[in-house]
Chain A
Amino acid sequence: MEFKDLDPILHSQLRLAVMSLLISVKEAEFTFIKEKTNATAGNLSVQINKLKEAGYIEVAKQFKDNYPQTTCKITPVGVKAFEDYVNNLQSYLGVKK
């Protein structure tokens, strides 16, 4: 089955995992996302950057107790994109709502 209409930004394993994590929390640290997705720091950084460029997430970098801390938060655009993605996926799969 082809998924031509599915958002290509979200239809990637790691980016979808990041968005699924962020949809249910207020905000999460990079280390938390890395642990939950089992991704490497480098790959995760690249994918987070893609989501940020698409306007789906906000990334805040700050220092806490002299350590760099990167926090990610889903944006309203990201929430809408995620909802559309799930709706499209459900209609492709014929899932009844």
Chain B
Amino acid sequence: MEENKLSGEDSLQLIQQMIQSSRDEHQENGDGWLLWGWLLFSASVISCIMGYMGYGRYVGEVWLGMLVVGLIAYAFNWRSKKARTNRVQTYMQGLLNKIQSAFFISLLAILAGSYLGNHSFSFGYFYILYAFWMFIHGSAIRFKPLIVGAWVNWAAALGIFLATDFRHDMMISALAVLIGYLIPGYMLRSEFRKKMQSTDRIAA
């Protein structure tokens, strides 16, 4: 950057350009949504099939297994994120990380509360929580599919509260995850790849 004499207009333009440039730094490849989405989707479909085959009593183990795999993957992801050299730390990324942590703590609190307190548990609570997370995340990164996904998950939560058959809960769950997590996750990944390709082209 040359040291030219700055006019007032130049200064304002430079400020805007630099602020915009640092804003563009927030990038997501959708991996987290896809990992969590596939885990939830698989658990829902397996539970539904097990329900129809008469193995409904083992569904709890399926979800517990899913949760353990999810938490291990989350811990690995957190470690690799920490090890990765981030050239810039945005306020938004910091905030989204906090919201993600709060989500997982709330999730565990719901599970622990319903287990220890012996209260009746509904998957609907999960989907309200997912929707809450997705709505904030989608709004923060201005990604509409996640916001739509949040509304789908809120609707799914209501559906699960109203459904009386556990197998129907699992069908709604699979559908909500497909629309709410997996489709936006693949869209995020596709956008990320396009962005990376255009950045490479500019760099070349």
Count residues of A near B (Cβ-Cβ below 8 Å). 33
- In the complex, whether B9 has a CB less than 8 A from a CB of chain A is yes
Give A75 to B190 CA distance when docked, in angstroms.
37
CB pair B19 A20 closer than 8 Å? yes
CB pair B19 A13 closer than 8 Å? no
- In the complex, whether B53 has a CB less than 8 A from a CB of chain A is no
* Majority secondary structure of chain B interface residues (helix, strand, loop or mixed): helix
**How does the 8 Å CB contact mask read for A21-46 relative to B, with 1 for contact and 0 for none?**
10111111101100011110001000
A92 CB to nearest B CB, Å: 5
- In the complex, whether B15 has a CB less than 8 A from a CB of chain A is yes
- List A63-97 residues whose CB lies under 8 Å from chain B: 64-65, 69, 86, 89-90, 92-93, 95
Residues of A within 8 A of B9 (CB): 93
Residues of B within 8 A of A39 (CB): 1
- List A4-61 residues whose CB lies under 8 Å from chain B: 11-14, 16-17, 20-21, 23-29, 31-32, 36-39, 43
Count residues of B near A (Cβ-Cβ below 8 Å). 27
CB pair B14 A28 closer than 8 Å? no
Q: How many A-B residue pairs have CB under 8 A?
A: 83
Residues of B within 8 A of A38 (CB): 1
CB pair A21 B90 closer than 8 Å? no
- In the complex, whether B89 has a CB less than 8 A from a CB of chain A is yes
- In the complex, whether B54 has a CB less than 8 A from a CB of chain A is no
CB pair A28 B8 closer than 8 Å? no
Given A25-B88, A27-B88, A12-B6 contact (CB < 8 Å): yes
Determine which of A16, A25, A37, A89 lies in contact with B25 in the assembled complex, contact meaning CB atoms within 8 Å.
A25
- In the complex, whether B22 has a CB less than 8 A from a CB of chain A is yes
- Chain B residues within 8 Å of A, Cβ to Cβ: 1-4, 6-12, 14-15, 17-19, 21-23, 25, 85, 87-91, 94
Please name 19 pairs of A and B residues whose Cβ atoms are closer than 8 Å in the assembled complex, sorted by A.
Answer: A1-B8, A3-B8, A14-B3, A16-B14, A16-B15, A20-B15, A20-B18, A24-B90, A25-B25, A25-B91, A26-B89, A28-B22, A28-B87, A28-B89, A29-B87, A31-B87, A32-B88, A37-B18, A93-B8
